[in-house]
Amino acid sequence: MLWQQLVNGLTLGAIYTLLALSFSIVMGILGILNLAIAELFMIGGYFGFTLIAANFPLPVAVLGGMAGAAIAAMVIERIGYQPLRGTPVVTPMLSTLGFSIILQNVATNFWGSDPLQLPDEYLGRQYTLGPVNIGQMQLIVVGATIVLVTLIAYTVQRTTVGRALRAVAENREVSRLLGVSADRLTLFAFALSGALAGVAGVLIALHYGAITPYLGVEIGLKAVAVMVIGGTTNIWGALLAGPLIGVVEVLTVAYGGSQVRDFVVYGFMILILLLRPQGLLGGARSDQGQRV
């Protein structure tokens, strides 16, 4: 059972990683928590689910989920963030909270509150390796997460766009003086973050073969914990903390009891905040301005 639980934990952790990275990108540039990301994850899942149900191939569904969530994120940036940029940090955060409630309502009204279920054939093939049963979708989820984290890390650390993003994160005004369009990059950061949340939503919907309008809240909160534990200043932190939290959560349910699951996960987050506020892979205090 232990090995099977580790596989369960790694799959769950992969989803947490993608979502944590999505939170981290906006947090890194703007220093605010985009609370609508959990619902962008859900909306992305619904877009992908709808395309799969309409017999589009998996890559189209993934791209559709990414595009749908990215567009929704850009709308949030234009309406819910940009006009409030000069206000205290809490104002745009509350605005994104409003968007999250709106998105959940839109999903409930459009797709209904009942879980949508994919036909059995989408559950995918199962592979048995000794005591472990691994589904095809589990392998896709873990593989896609590693590829996407690597791509994001490469984009942020090695490309011109990434350098510009880091410049904006370091000092918005100075970057503008150096010719970087901070507004355009902020929009790009929202879109990138939305696309990541969207792909996570499609993957989780396909993995479980079901989706509901309420799946964003629980997973979104765990992803915030993953971001904090991994460290908001380092992309690889999410890749370490996601599977760590996924495995801790699953093993807690298996060996400690479901009732203490959230106590352990969020207790761990509080412990990290107390002992190492910058997170496991976060930089030293002097690096904290540079979050991306």
Q: Closest separation between CB of residue 210 and other proteins, Å?
A: 5
Q: How far apart are CA 4 and CA 103, in angstroms?
A: 35
Among 164, 180, 192, 215, binds other proteins (CB under 8 A): 215
Q: How far apart are CA 35 and CA 45, in angstroms?
A: 17
What does the CA dihedral 153, 155, 157, 161 come to, rounded to 10 degrees?
-150
Q: Closest separation between CB of residue 157 and other proteins, Å?
A: 31
- Interactions with other proteins, residue window 14-53 (CB under 8 A): none
Q: Closest separation between CB of residue 255 and other proteins, Å?
A: 9
Nearer to other proteins, 210 or 273 (CB): 210
Confirm or reject binding of residue 129 to other proteins (CB under 8 A).
no
Nearer to other proteins, 57 or 112 (CB): 112
Show the binding pattern over residues 219-238: x = contacts other proteins (CB under 8 A), - = does not.
x-------------------
Q: Closest separation between CB of residue 112 and other proteins, Å?
A: 6
Among 87, 105, 150, 181, binds other proteins (CB under 8 A): 105
Show the binding pattern over residues 132-161: x = contacts other proteins (CB under 8 A), - = does not.
-x-x--------------------------
DSSP string, the chain: -HHHHHHHHHHHHHHHHHHHHHHHHHHHHHS---TTHHHHHHHHHHHHHHHHHTT--HHHHHHHHHHHHHHHHHHIIIIIIGGGTTS-THHHHHHHHHHHHHHHHHHHHHH-SSPEE--GGGG--EEEETTEEEEHHHHHHHHHHHHHHHHHHHHHHHSHHHHHHHHHHH-HHHHHHTT--HHHHHHHHHHHHHHHHHHHHHHHHHHHTEE-TTHHHHHHHHHHHHHHHH-TT-HHHHHHHHHHHHHHHHHIIIII-GGGHHHHHHHHHHHHHHH-TT-SS---GGGTT---
Confirm or reject binding of residue 5 to other proteins (CB under 8 A).
yes
Q: How many residues lie near other proteins (CB under 8 A)?
A: 40
Task: Tell me the window of 48-56, 84-92, 105-113, 183-191 that interacts with other proteins (CB under 8 A).
Answer: 105-113
Confirm or reject binding of residue 87 to other proteins (CB under 8 A).
no
Among 59, 259, 274, 285, binds other proteins (CB under 8 A): 259
Binding site for other proteins (CB under 8 A): 1, 4-5, 8-9, 11-12, 105, 108-109, 112-115, 117, 120, 123, 126, 133, 135, 204, 208-212, 214-215, 217-219, 249-251, 253-254, 257-259, 262
